[in-house]
Amino acid sequence: MPPLNLNSRTVTFTMWIYPGADGIGASTGLLMNRNGSDAAGLGFGSNLRTNGQGTVMAELGYAWSTNSAAASGWHSGLYPVAGVWNFVALVITNNSTTMYLYYCSSDENGATTNLLKAVLNNVTNTSEAFGGGTTWIGSDNWSNGPQLQRFHDEVAGVYQLHD
């Protein structure tokens, strides 16, 4: 997709994702920008979890601040659910990162809404340009890793700059 031409260290990205029944592997991008050695965006990290049906799901993660280890090494502990729509938000501020995961589940007792949040405090988030290189939706060309199939519908990029 074309560059977002954003140059900020205070931004919010939101998206709806629908992971398939086969789950999502590690290091898969949701919205990633790569420009040389710089990387920024939202995707899946390296921690994996398997549910009772054998579906493997990676946890949500992010890259920021010239692909800093503090960002890419953070473990959010947030795992989207396969086979349902999940709302995901990434909020970047000058000195913290917050990630949200929202989905509905149901069982014999009825429907339940689930809102989960993970916060990384005391991290320095520098400005990211998203103005050069390539911005990927549903992939991240860094690792030649998996590309998401059947995970999105009517994709629209939504982001908000903060004051």
Percent of the chain residues topping a pLDDT of 70: 83
pLDDT in tens, 9-58: 888 989 998 888 777 877 788 888 877 777 788 988 888 888 777 778 88
Asked whether residue 4 carries a pLDDT value surpassing 50, the answer given is: yes
Do the Cβ atoms of 43 and 63 come closer than 8 Å?
A: yes
pTM metric for this prediction:
0.82
Read off the tokens for 5: 């031409």
pLDDT number for residue 29: 83
Q: How far apart are CA 39 and CA 63, in angstroms?
A: 6
